[in-house]
């Protein structure tokens, strides 16, 4: 009898590939193990065994596998079930899913580039002969491909050697960044040397009799250092003396205290849980009870809790329950909200049971987490991670939490699989018969709609923790301010007033501006020409810091122009405004305060994001200017004022979700204000203060927003009322993509009639020299999604059989929003 395996390989093939194996291989192999296989003329891939059988393929001669790579499966049946669902639902191949699902170290292939791991010293005597040969070669050559290694070792089956070297951490795969180590600077204070003599100290304390709060701080400093005999952290000092950070700051300013920093090694985390979870307040306790009741009838429940209501503490209780039942827990977050703040908070409660899975971690670390989850190790009972963490080999999930469930970044846009992590998490939970809790202060329309339809349970918390009031939100009409000449640059008199007030009291300010760079575009005052990207259909944006013009789509860069490219005039003007310009202006307005900026440009480097957050947390920065990066679940204690510099460019964004997103974004930034006892203040500058969304934001009127937006979605046939699938075509030849798009839309229309929109050129119709066309298929509730997809696949197949269209790239995006 002959034996065969069907193998998933990480490339977009419509069908699985079949290889022949021997009887003993068939006896040994299990579904979910890896094998290395030849493909095409000379390629090598790592494949996952999907099926073992005796049927020879009919249309080709099955090749033999090269080698078996595992002793036991690294992918389990539940994962394969999930992969299948993703491939079907999002209309991609199992190979696409496999590539997204596995850490790259698991899928060595001919294209993999291997180099020496320079971070770790390797004791060469621990290497086997073949490992040493490869390692040795990497001393002389910066990188090798699989085929080079085949030549060096003079044998075909080299993946096991490479796997062993990876396990020993001797080599690394290219495209990798190692960023786990995050040194944290901690702020300490001591008494200034001027007061080291007894006499000077007495005099100081006498002088401070008139400033009892300050005196209290000094006394507390003494008592802490007497007790601990260690440097005193500013944070300990403020907590124990019950003084505001402003008082400590004033003591530093007066030269009585001296501040200094010590680097704290976050990696030295002891691994012990050192805190009990917090007792819930009444609102939280009721919410917890309601969530549990809701889970009795709904596997999915939405927790709608206002910002700072303490949702995280409620999650913690649910996690404790799941752990008690011996279940695994997955806590999903948008990448950017996965801050050290939150990681530390959970590690304090759960110690080593928390594993973090982050794209910024090295392959080695990701493989470690993978293996811990696979073994169901104590170390990985709770996985905290961004969207890709749901591909981990869980075998007994009890609970999935999707925090900030409204966040757009849960959707992967490119490459395939174009999946939405929240929706996929629901399916994953189903496979495990686990519960899913979606949490947000500003739920997505689709989740709230599902709750209204009673598909999901719904639980609300409408009070902030400690009964802190929701911030007071004020709309500032900048059209009127301009008219009355009450603007300084982009700052209204109201904003300047409120800023001055907050800063004077030692409180912090956040300024939100939805654009990075100095100003979006540069325009010639004489002829109106704006410099364009040569590869894309957009104007370049000006970045003052480097005096450059840049394209945000393809990364094209040129030096700022001295004169107009079209007419030669030197009168170039910048239109609009970005974070960099706000930063400049605020520095001029408040020269005595420390300003920092947080956007893609300032956080690109290693630890960039963490550094800014830490500095702000530790009150080293007074004013933080930033983009939406600021909105994500950050818990700052001392922010009094938040300002949205210009609400209009959010509202006017050309997208059917622009209004919903603006509402979410503005409420989320507002939520950063006044999280402790002082009531926060929010100023929203706009040309259009009567805009319904702004009214809803200023009243924190989620339901008002929901009803009005749902109305529009009904009227204009948008999700969540209709489903939609976007088909994008691209090609470097405009005529070709145009003809192809017209053909495709016409064929789709024959089936779906008026529910096909387009083809249309997107707002940016050319990117990296490729022309784009979009077609949108809208799917009414009563129409079968499955049948719709089948029809689309059929039309696509005819499309692909037309010779002229073969070079046109076609991308299908299900739920493209
Ligand atoms: P949310 O996620 O809803 O915005 P958080 O969970 O971050 O809110 O809570 C806001 C702040 O209130 C945090 O600093 C948290 O430690 C504190 N907090 C929330 N609940 C409690 C509680 N029951 N006891 C003590 N502190 C709490
Ligand atoms: Zn470009
Ligand atoms: Zn000009």
What tokens were used for 748? 């789709």
Ligand 1 atom nearest 309 alpha carbon? 3
Condensed to tens digits (0 to 9), the pLDDT of residues 488-502 reads 989 999 999 999 999
Q: Following DSSP, what letter does each residue of 522-565 receive, concatenated?
A: EEETTT----B-SSSSSB-EEEGGGTEEE-TTT--EEEPPSS-T
> Average pLDDT of 464-484?
90
Q: Which position has the token pair 């010293």?
A: 121
- Other residues' Cβ atoms within 10 Å of the Cβ of residue 97: 25
- Contacts of 735-739 with C-beta under 8 Å, sequence gap 24+, read 736/804, 736/805, 736/807, 736/808, 737/771, 737/772, 737/773, 737/808, 738/771, 738/773, 739/804
What backbone phi and psi angles, to 5 degrees, belong to 340? -60, -35
Nearest CA to ligand 1 atom 20: 310
**pLDDT digit string (tens) for 507-516?**
999 999 876 5
- Give the model confidence (pLDDT) of 749-798 as tens digits: 999 999 999 899 887 889 889 999 999 999 998 999 999 999 999 999 99
Which whole number is the average pLDDT over 162-180?
70
Residue nearest ligand 1's atom 23 by CA: 280
Whether 439 lines ligand 1, by a CB cut-off of 6 Å, is: no
C-alpha distances (whole Å) from 780 to each of 242, 658, 710, 724, 745 are 59, 22, 15, 9, 18
Q: How far apart are CA 234 and CA 222, in angstroms?
A: 13
Burial class from Cβ neighbours inside 10 Å (0-12, 13-18, 19+) for residue 282 reads: exposed
**What pLDDT sits at residue 724?**
95
Count CB-CB contacts under 10 A for residue 801.
Answer: 9
- Is the pLDDT at 697 greater than 80, yes or no? yes
Return d(Cα 638, Cα 623) in angstroms, integer.
11
Q: How many other CB atoms are there within 10 angstroms of residue 151's CB atom?
A: 13
Residue count (the chain): 817
Tell me the DSSP string of 756-814: EEEEE--SS-EETTEEEEEEEEEE-TTS-HHHHHHHHHHHHHHHHTSGGGTTSEEEEEE
Secondary structure (3-state) at 726: strand
Query: Is 756 buried (19+), middle (13-18) or exposed (0-12) by CB count in 10 A?
Result: buried
Question: Of the candidates 327, 314, 324, which has an alpha carbon nearest to the alpha carbon of residue 383?
Answer: 327
Give residue 44's pLDDT: 86
| pLDDT confidence bin for 232, thresholds 50/70/90 | confident
Distance 563 CA to ligand 3 centre (A): 8
Percent of the chain with pLDDT over 70: 94
* Angle at 54 (CA atoms; ends 49, 56), nearest 5 degrees: 90
Contact 308 CB / ligand 1 (< 6 Å): yes
Whole-structure pTM value? 0.82
Distance 540 CA to ligand 3 centre (A): 15
Among the ranges given (83-92, 284-293, 305-314), the one the predictor scored with the smallest mean pLDDT: 305-314
- Choosing from 313, 317, 339, 402 the residue with most ligand 1 atoms within 8 A of its CB, the one to mutate for a pocket test is 313
Task: Give the ranges where 325-477 is alpha helix by DSSP (H).
Answer: 340-350, 363-374, 421-432, 445-452
Choose among 1, 57, 47, 49: nearest CA to 28: 49
**Residue 641: which region, alpha, beta or left (left: phi > 0; alpha: psi -120 to 50)?**
beta
Q: What burial class does residue 144 get, using C-beta atoms within 10 Å of its C-beta: 0-12 exposed, 13-18 middle, 19+ buried?
A: buried
Ligand of minimum distance to the alpha carbon of 463: 1
Separation CA 249–CA 252 (nearest Å): 5
For residue 763, which of 652, 665, 661, 662 has the smallest C-alpha distance?
A: 652
Residue nearest to atom 17 of ligand 1 (CA): 310
């Amino acid at each position: 009898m002959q034996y065969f395996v069907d193998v998933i390989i990480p490339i977009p093939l419509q069908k699985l590939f079949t290889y022949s194996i021997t009887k003993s291989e068939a006896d040994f192999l299990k579904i979910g193990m890896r094998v290395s296989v030849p493909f095409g003329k000379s390629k090598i891939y790592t494949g996952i065994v999907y099926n073992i059988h005796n049927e020879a393929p009919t249309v080709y001669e099955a090749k033999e596998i090269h080698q078996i790579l595992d002793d036991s499966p690294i992918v389990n049946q539940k994962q394969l079930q999930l992969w299948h669902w993703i491939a079907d639902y999002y209309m991609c191949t199992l190979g696409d899913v496999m590539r997204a699902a596995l850490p790259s170290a698991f899928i060595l292939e001919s294209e993999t580039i291997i180099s020496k791991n320079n971070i770790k010293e390797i004791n060469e005597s621990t290497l086997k002969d073949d490992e040493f040969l490869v390692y040795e070669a990497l001393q002389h050559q910066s990188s090798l491909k699989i085929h080079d290694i085949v030549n060096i070792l003079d044998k075909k089956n080299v993946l096991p050697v490479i796997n062993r070297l990876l396990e020993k951490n001797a080599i690394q795969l290219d495209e990798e960044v190692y960023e786990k180590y995050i040194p944290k600077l901690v702020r300490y204070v001591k008494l200034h040397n001027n007061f080291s003599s007894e006499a000077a100290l007495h005099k100081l304390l006498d002088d401070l009799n008139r400033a009892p709060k300050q005196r209290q701080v000094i006394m507390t400093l003494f008592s802490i250092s007497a007790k601990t005999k260690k440097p005193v952290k500013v944070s300990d000092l403020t907590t124990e003396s019950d003084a505001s950070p402003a008082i400590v700051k004033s003591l530093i300013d007066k030269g009585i205290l001296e501040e200094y920093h010590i680097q704290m090694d976050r990696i030295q985390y002891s691994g012990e849980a050192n805190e009990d979870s917090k007792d819930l307040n009444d609102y939280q306790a009721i919410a917890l009870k309601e969530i549990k009741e809701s889970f009795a009838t709904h596997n999915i429940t939405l927790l709608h809790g206002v910002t700072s209501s303490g949702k995280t503490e409620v999650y913690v209780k649910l996690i404790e329950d799941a752990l008690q039942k011996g279940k695994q827990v997955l806590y999903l977050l948008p990448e950017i909200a996965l801050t050290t703040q939150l990681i530390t908070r959970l590690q304090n409660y759960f110690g080593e049971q928390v594993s973090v899975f982050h794209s910024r971690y090295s392959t080695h670390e990701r493989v470690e987490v993978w293996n811990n989850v696979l073994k169901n190790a104590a170390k990985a009972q709770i996985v905290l991670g961004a969207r890709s963490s749901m591909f981990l080999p869980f075998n007994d999930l009890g609970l999935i939490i999707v925090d900030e469930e409204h966040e757009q970044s849960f959707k992967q846009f490119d490459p395939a699989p174009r999946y939405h992590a929240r929706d996929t998490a629901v399916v994953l939970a189903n496979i495990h018969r686990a519960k899913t809790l979606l949490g947000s202060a500003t739920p997505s329309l689709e989740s709230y709609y599902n709750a209204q339809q009673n598909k999901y349970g719904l639980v609300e918390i409408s009070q902030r923790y400690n009964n802190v009031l929701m911030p007071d939100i004020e709309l500032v009409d900048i059209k009127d301010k301009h008219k009355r000449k009450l603007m300084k640059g982009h700052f209204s008199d109201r904003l300047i007033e409120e800023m001055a007030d907050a800063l004077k009291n030692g409180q912090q300010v956040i300024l939100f501006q939805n654009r990075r760079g100095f100003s979006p575009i540069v325009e010639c005052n004489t002829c109106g020409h704006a410099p364009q990207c040569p590869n894309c259909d957009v104007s370049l944006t000006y970045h003052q810091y480097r005096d450059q013009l840049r394209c945000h789509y393809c990364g094209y860069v040129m030096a700022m122009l001295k004169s107009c490219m079209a007419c030669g005039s030197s009168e170039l003007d910048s239109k609009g405004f970005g974070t960099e310009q706000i930063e400049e202006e605020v520095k001029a307005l408040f020269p005595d305060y420390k300003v920092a900026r947080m956007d893609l440009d300032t956080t690109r480097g290693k630890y960039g994001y963490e550094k800014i957050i830490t500095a702000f947390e530790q009150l080293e920065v007074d004013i933080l200017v930033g983009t939406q990066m600021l909105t994500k679940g950050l818990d700052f204690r001392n922010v009094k004022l938040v300002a949205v510099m210009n609400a209009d460019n959010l509202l006017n964004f050309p997208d059917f979700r622009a209004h919903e997103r603006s509402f979410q974004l503005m409420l989320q930034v507002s939520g950063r204000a006044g999280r402790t006892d002082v009531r926060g203040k929010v100023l929203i500058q706009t040309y259009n203060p009567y805009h319904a969304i702004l009214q809803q934001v200023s009243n924190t009127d989620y339901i008002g927003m929901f009803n009005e937006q749902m109305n529009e979605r009904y009227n204009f046939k948008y999700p969540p009322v209709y489903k939609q699938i976007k088909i994008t075509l691209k090609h470097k030849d405009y005529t070709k993509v145009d003809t192809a798009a017209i053909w495709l839309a016409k064929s789709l229309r024959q089936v779906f009639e008026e529910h096909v929109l387009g083809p249309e050129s997107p707002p940016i119709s050319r990117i990296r020299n490729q022309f784009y066309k979009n077609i949108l298929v809208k799917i009414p509730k009563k129409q079968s999604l499955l049948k719709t997809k089948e029809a689309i696949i059929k039309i696509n197949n005819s499309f692909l059989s037309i010779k002229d269209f073969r070079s046109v790239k076609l991308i299908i995006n299900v739920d493209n929003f």
